[in-house]
Amino acid sequence: MLPLAPYVLKGLWRHRNRTLLTVSGSAVALFVFCCVGSVQRGLARLTEDQAALRTLIVFQENRFCPASSKLPEDYARATAKLAGVKEVVPIKVLTNNCRASLDVVVFHGMPPQQLRAARDLKLVAGGWDSFATRTDGAMVGQAVAKRRGIQVGERFTMGEVTVHVVGIFRSAVAAEESYIYTHLDFLQRAQGSSSVGTVTQLEVQLSEQANPDQIAAAIDAQFQSGPVATTTRSKGLFQRDTLADLAELIGFAHWLGYACVGLVLALVATTTVMAVQDRIQEHAVLQTLGVRPGRIFRLVLAESMLQSIAGGGLGIGAGLALLAWGRFAVGAEGVTIAFEPSLDLALTGAIVSAVVGLLAGIAPGWQAARSEIVHALRQA
């Protein structure tokens, strides 16, 4: 019986330049597929998280960029009195760029005691005591810390704001790792006297029995005749609306992922067809030696799948390694989407590679298995 693996490997090595180009092309396509999948996963995690559905964001009506929303800080106390409201966190947001950017820096000014309760942050360096005692102290997400080369004990400046880094944290929500948390009153004063007593938004945490839609309507009705009208939405909806243009672009990139899969299919199928054409006589000789057509079919199929899986493995591995190392995030209007590598994404890529290799090898394998021995032996 003809050994399957050694024969396939020898066939690929015999035309190693062609094999290398096919594997490289597959790797590039799966690398792009992996990157597209990671940003889509980041967007889904950001907008579909269950905690985000139970949290409301109060923003100034008809405002978009954080710099343009200025709510009275007293709104927090009035909102906290509504039935169904568990806690209200006033937040001052400052960002270096309201447009889409891969290197957005977002400051969130919050009362220190509420920060620890409202966010699940795990310190990898520094301590909470230093943050509580320093008015200019800042907790920096490890993603932005890595991108900017920030270390504990250093000073970091963005525009007119200079903070002392007292801690670096990680979070279960990858997007949080692109934020820098400071004291609310510090960030208010850093933006000038006109910002004292004002916040960008209120984060309203609801009780389990509360109806988010009813409370959102009650908040907006309460402040409709006040000095500043508001628009209240769930946190997930707020983030989805804020990132609407960027989400459309990411949605378009979804088709780019499918195009990459099609590219791998075409590339591997073309290479396999060429390999079958080059070995018409060889396959005929194998059949005269007693190798059945079904085994010829499996040989061609194995060659196709091996090239696709090898290229896919390289592309997925490189993509996940780069995303884990770079901790990339894209942001707009103070909201960030983290590129989230995961084992699920790697498994999906591996399955796609195997299926594409299988599909690409069916037609050439069928051709090789069904070729007539006499006609094949006569081929020059």
- Same domain membership, residue 74 and residue 15: no
Can you give the pTM of this predicted structure?
0.76
- Same domain membership, residue 151 and residue 99: yes
Task: Please check whether residue 306 lies inside any domain of the structure.
Answer: yes
Per-residue pLDDT 10s for the chain (380 aa) are: 446 667 667 767 777 787 788 888 888 888 888 888 888 887 777 766 666 677 899 999 887 777 788 999 999 999 999 999 999 999 999 887 766 666 778 899 999 989 988 888 999 999 899 998 899 999 999 988 988 889 999 999 887 889 999 999 998 888 888 899 999 999 988 877 667 889 999 999 998 888 989 999 999 999 998 889 999 998 878 877 776 667 777 777 778 888 888 888 888 888 877 776 666 666 656 666 666 777 778 888 888 888 889 988 999 999 999 888 877 777 767 777 778 788 888 998 899 889 988 888 888 777 776 766 555 455 54
- Same domain membership, residue 266 and residue 218: no
Domain closes at, from 199, 228, 257 = 228
Whole-angstrom Cα distance, residue 199 to residue 296? Answer: 71
Domain closes at, from 228, 261, 281 = 228
H-assigned helices in 279-342: 280-288, 293-326
- Same domain membership, residue 221 and residue 91: yes
- Phi and psi, residue 124, nearest 5°: -105, -15
- Same domain membership, residue 255 and residue 165: no
Task: Please check whether residue 10 lies inside any domain of the structure.
Answer: yes
Task: Please check whether residue 233 lies inside any domain of the structure.
Answer: no
Task: Please check whether residue 237 lies inside any domain of the structure.
Answer: no
- Residue span of the structural domain in which 166 resides: 62-228
For residue 337, the surrounding DSSP H or E stretch is strand 335-338
**Total count of domains within the chain:** 2
- Same domain membership, residue 105 and residue 11: no
- Same domain membership, residue 116 and residue 88: yes
- Same domain membership, residue 278 and residue 224: no
- Same domain membership, residue 115 and residue 28: no
Task: Please check whether residue 309 lies inside any domain of the structure.
Answer: yes
Task: Please check whether residue 52 lies inside any domain of the structure.
Answer: no
Domain closes at, from 228, 261, 286 = 228
- Same domain membership, residue 224 and residue 255: no
- Same domain membership, residue 183 and residue 123: yes
Q: By three-state DSSP, how is residue 292 classified?
A: coil
Rg (CA), the chain: 29
Residues 6+ apart with CB under 8 A from 321: none
Task: Please check whether residue 54 lies inside any domain of the structure.
Answer: no
